[in-house]
Structure 1
């Protein structure tokens, strides 16, 4: 563990044993949200730490009920109302006295449909209007026929009382709100790098070409000198070539013209190109009389160095290529050594 804030949190928690998040945050002088986030991350790393939540169930239900009032179910439109003729008693049976209304009926409206009564056990079901009895069906309590069954709820969409439908705004994670969710442009992605700077990608000895680093660093690479062969420099540094080998020394300078520091070795992927198109990587040696490149080029700084190559004596070198990564791409720079 290298984070001093996490160490301070764990030390205070070890002293208290059990404490609320806001009390622990006040003790160490940190924001409660940051303390909660750090504790959850630490609990997932295998430490003997349990992060819990305690609440008042009744209070939470009351808060949810106040924030989301229950939706009222929709009632079907009864349609236009037609008043009965003056003095008439609607739906009065024969022989009924004026003003008669069946129990539960409202004047001017038809009475509610009554569900058919099931036949008592041991008695046949009621006959159909056309005569005869329907066959007994043990799976159904009511016989088939032109009966109007009362429905309690009209068909159609039914709204359940409770939380209203629709998107619920969940609290944002501090990491997500800062960097954005994965697989989006706000995350650092290697497959969405900025376009290389405009300008020529090829040149000759002495030319400065505009390049770009892996993090978008704005660089200028200049090929100053190519010593071929450089066997005497190789031997003066205490190295020995095998029979049939020769040494080549390349001198380059890299200038950082942007605000982003270049933290790689400038000649890490500086290669020689042979006549058959094969690259020759640099040798892991350095010369005392020709100092090598050092790691990193700060903004506004120009750094130079020498790169040593060992290759067969009969191999013809036609170009020098610089790339910010092992495989060449559109950001690679090439200097031709042929007239």
Structure 2
């Protein structure tokens, strides 16, 4: 059984799930940048006390599930989300959904995701995919970051749905509820403003030093101390974690800034305020600098760059990025009041 479902390839998994499921449900205006921006997906956080792969937890996006939840709620679309203690009940709920001719998204771990290239498989439990059919013991998978469809056996799907560790998915599946009235352009307009204001808050106003632009600046300062404080091997592993979370998990730091720039550009069609176009370019510039920082970090990790001065350059790059994003979000805050 295969559903009549359009596979859409996107840069980031949860954006793609949001776009694909909402379009399937009738929200034809939805694009990846709009889903990301309305869902206030842009973020930064570093938690040194929480370790993932023996290095600090670093994230360039909001909590898993929030992009889909916020986008749907801002458009008046109900969200159905379920988690399970029983693997049998998790499979039963998915099968019942498919028997109704309806797709469902799952949060999964990537370590045992068999169609992923081996170099991308490590212990990360916040990947998202859509199950769109079942043929015998195999499930048909629309994974937004892949070019085409893939299959997983019932055991393979169960294994990734119940992966262990941080952000364990616990068999989670989710999808839009029934949409009683078509989503209008006016709803999109209001949702854009709500998404912008929430993202401004998250990047500028969270107290402390670990999140938003303050978190980026804090990380830059910390990087300058890692070589002496941690030793070469551990310092390099921390930088590898930064690059992995930036460049290999979805679209990470630079890519998310490019998507957010595209969101502001597309928002201009709904809110013709020209400052949005200038701000789009500012976020694109921040994305370019994140990519430059990733190259610097990779050079240190691979041993091409080894001096304290190289760590200082890396730290200064992040401090510069924090300044760029603080300026952009401060200006965006002022513009949002006129939308």
Q: TM-score, structure 2 length as denominator? A: 0.19
The two structures have a TM-score, normalised by structure 1, of 0.19
Which structure is richer in relative contact order (CA contacts within 8 A, separation 6 or more)? Answer: 2
